[in-house]
Amino acid sequence: MPIDSYRILADPNISLPAEGRKEETNISLEYSSDMKKARLHSTLVALLNDPVLADIPKNPTLTDVDTLISLELGSAMRISVLKLDGSSFDVTVMNSATVKDLKQAVRKRIDDTEQSKMGHRHISWRHVWSNFCLLFHNEKLLDDTAKLQDYGIRNNAQVLYFDAHIHIAIALPK
Edge-to-edge strand list for the sheet holding 157-164: 88-94, 76-82, 157-164, 132-136, 139-140
Least confident window among 89-93, 154-158, 168-172? 168-172
Q: What is the mean pLDDT of the chain?
A: 76
What is 94-131 written as a DSSP string? Answer: ETT-BHHHHHHHHHHHHHHHHHHHHSS----HHHHHHH
Give the integer Cα–Cα distance in Å for 78 and 95: 9
pTM (predicted TM-score): 0.64
pLDDT digits (tens, 9 = 90+) for 115-155: 878 777 788 889 888 888 888 888 888 899 999 999 999 99
- 95-122 pLDDT, tens digit each: 999 999 999 999 988 888 888 787 777 8
